[in-house]
């Protein structure tokens, strides 16, 4: 597992993390006061300049919120990371700042790392490994990674921040008012979002579960071309520590700076496409955290997968009606499509005929756009028109009052995040991909 290069200068180390509810709540309150001050400053300036836009306000708020969340780490920072991947939900100032949590959160200091090891293992890192670098190679939302060696083998040791696993529920309650203001969701929709996020985060902070899943998924995907997985060491792992073999490689941003050939871009893109669609359609469970920090491009041109913390399982009553509409001509059968939309709660039982027609039309257009890569044997993700149409449609429905209330079953939250994250990475690669390698299993009647 290679170090994640900094997107800006190395942030200052933290010597402590607020772990109690009182300490973490106080941090949110302080941040709330800062944001209030930013609004006062903005509207004061607007008195003298009525044409003033919100760019400066968004930048100030994004900086203050990110600074607070990066000190708290954990669930709140993870939500920021998730939001940074959705180009339609937040102004650019927020997505730019929050994306730092994928690579560049402030790391914990050496003494705090030693303290964590003594608590979990009863030993210091130097008593467990032959070599252990106290300075982390990268720090993200839930944990940070250190280089180590044992018996001549290079290792990556991922250490979870203190208090992260115990503060998920309380953190999400504290972040809810910020999310409510930033996202503009209804309270019910926000509750569905937060509940699903909480379920996944509880799993993601259980590193023993992650080790089991990492071994399971890497073995299941072992026959896919051009993929590389770390070796995991359960005996050197705990609920808050994972030890795995070190994979050399570059993250996407660094890789693209080397001006790779189109052939290599296509190879990496194909590996990414096959990795995700094999899981979705053959395993019915998928690596649901497709941000660039979780992947490496190795020196021999393969795709390294270095994090299986977030897995989303897809039950049949979601999988079949959703993927059947994305990969067949089912959308041309209005009656069956409406039945599928009802099963997915995109159309509600209480909707009147005008509402049924409205949501059928909008969702048909949305899925028709999303499904374009599935509808052809090969797709060029470097084409801007596809993404322009996708984002402009997302912006259009975000402004529609009809979509202010929750629509769709909870499974959409992570499945949409997974697929749009995949699309965005393939777009950055400008990859040309064979999209018929692992096809959805479908039903044509509902």
One domain for residues 319 and 188 = no
Q: Check residue 62 and give its pLDDT.
A: 57
pLDDT tens readout for residues 369-402: 999 998 888 999 999 999 989 888 877 887 788 8
Beta-strand (E) ranges in 326-404? 378-380
- Separation CA 166–CA 24 (nearest Å): 12
| Nearest residue to 390 via CA among 420, 410, 359 | 420
The answer as to whether 240 is a domain residue is no
pTM passes above 0.85: no
Domain-ending residue, one of 152, 184, 205: 205
- Domain that residue 60 falls in: 1-205
For the residues of 259-300, what is the DSSP string, one character each? ---HHHHHHHHHHHHHHHHHIIIIISEEE----GGGEEE-TT
Is position 72 within any domain?
yes
Whether 111 and 196 share a structural domain: yes
Domain-terminating residue out of 153, 171, 205? 205
User: In terms of domains, do 173 and 255 share one?
Assistant: no
Beta-strand (E) ranges in 355-412? 378-380
Determine the pLDDT at residue 102: 45
Tell me, what's the pLDDT at 68?
57
Q: Are residues 184 and 320 in the same domain?
A: no
Q: Which of 151, 185, 205 is the last residue of a domain?
A: 205
* Pair (253, 195) in one structural domain: no
What span, in angstroms and rounded, lies between the C-alpha atoms of 76 and 65? 10
Are 190 and 280 part of one and the same domain? no
Q: What is the pLDDT of residue 178?
A: 61
Residue 338 sits in the same domain as residue 411: yes
Q: Which residues, other chains included, contact 382 with Cβ-Cβ below 8 Å and sequence gap of 6+?
A: 427, 429, 430, 431, 432
Domain count, the chain: 2
The answer to whether residue 24 sits within a structural domain is yes
What is the C-alpha to C-alpha distance for residues 249 and 260, in angstroms, rounded to an integer?
14
Q: Which residues of the chain have pLDDT under 50?
A: 2-10, 28-29, 31-33, 35-36, 38-39, 41-43, 45-46, 84-91, 93-94, 97-103
Asked, for residue 293, whether it belongs to a domain, the answer is: yes
Asked if 180 and 123 sit in the same domain, the reply is yes
pLDDT value, residue 90: 45
- Contact (Cβ atoms closer than 8 angstroms) between residue 84 and residue 293: no
Q: Is 165 in the same domain as 282?
A: no
Q: Are residues 72 and 166 in the same domain?
A: yes
Query: For residue 34, is it within any domain?
Result: yes
396 burial level (CB within 10 Å; 0-12, 13-18, 19+) = middle
- Mark whether 197 and 267 lie in a shared domain: no
Residue 224: inside a domain? no
pLDDT at 260: 97
Let me know how long the chain is: 446
228 is a domain residue: no
Same domain, 389 and 278: yes
Residue 218 lies in a domain: no
**Taking a C-beta distance cutoff of 8 angstroms, is the pair 272, 280 a contact?**
no
């Amino acid at each position: 597992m290679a170090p994640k290069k900094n997107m800006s200068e190395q942030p200052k180390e933290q010597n402590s993390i607020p772990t109690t509810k009182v300490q973490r709540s106080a941090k949110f309150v302080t941040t709330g006061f800062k944001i209030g001050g930013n609004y006062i400053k903005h509207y004061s300036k607007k008195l003298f300049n009525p044409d003033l836009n919100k760019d400066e306000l968004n930048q100030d708020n994004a900086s203050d919120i990110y600074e607070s969340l990066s000190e708290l780490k954990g669930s709140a920072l993870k939500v920021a990371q998730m939001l940074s991947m959705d180009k339609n939900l937040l102004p650019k100032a927020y997505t730019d700042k929050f994306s730092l949590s994928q690579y560049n959160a402030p790391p914990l200091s050496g003494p705090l790392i030693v303290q964590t090891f003594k608590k979990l293992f009863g030993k210091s890192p130097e008593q467990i490994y032959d070599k252990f670098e106290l300075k982390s190679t990268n720090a993200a939302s839930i944990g940070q990674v250190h280089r180590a060696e044992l018996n001549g083998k290079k290792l990556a040791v991922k250490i979870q921040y203190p208090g992260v696993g115990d503060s998920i529920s309380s953190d999400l309650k504290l972040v809810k008012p910020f999310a409510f203001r930033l996202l503009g969701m209804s309270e019910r929709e926000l509750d569905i979002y937060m509940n699903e996020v909480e379920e996944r985060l509880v799993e993601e902070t259980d590193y023993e579960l992650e080790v089991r899943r990492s071994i399971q998924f890497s073995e299941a995907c072992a026959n896919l071309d051009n993929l590389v997985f770390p070796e995991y060491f359960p005996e050197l792992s705990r609920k808050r520590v994972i030890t795995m073999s070190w994979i050399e490689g570059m993250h996407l941003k660094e890789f693209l700076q080397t001006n790779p050939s189109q052939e290599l871009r296509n190879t990496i893109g194909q590996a990414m496409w096959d990795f995700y669609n094999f899981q979705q359609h053959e395993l019915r469970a998928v690596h649901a955290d497709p941000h660039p920090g979780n992947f490496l491009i190795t020196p021999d041109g393969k795709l390294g997968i270095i994090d299986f913390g977030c897995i989303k399982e897809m039950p049949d009553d979601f999988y079949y009606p959703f993927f059947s509409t994305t990969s067949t001509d089912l959308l041309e059968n209005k009656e069956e499509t409406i039945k599928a939309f009802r099963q997915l709660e995109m159309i509600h039982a209480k909707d009147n005929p005008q509402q049924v027609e409205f949501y059928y039309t909008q969702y048909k257009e949305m899925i028709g756009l999303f499904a374009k890569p599935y509808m052809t044997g090969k797709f060029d993700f470097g084409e801007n028109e596809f993404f322009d149409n996708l984002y402009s449609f997302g912006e259009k429905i975000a402004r529609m009052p009809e979509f202010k209330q929750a629509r769709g079953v909870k499974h959409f939250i992570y499945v949409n995040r997974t697929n749009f994250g995949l699309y965005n990475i393939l777009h950055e690669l400008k990859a040309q991909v064979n999209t018929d390698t692992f096809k959805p299993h479908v039903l044509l009647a509902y």
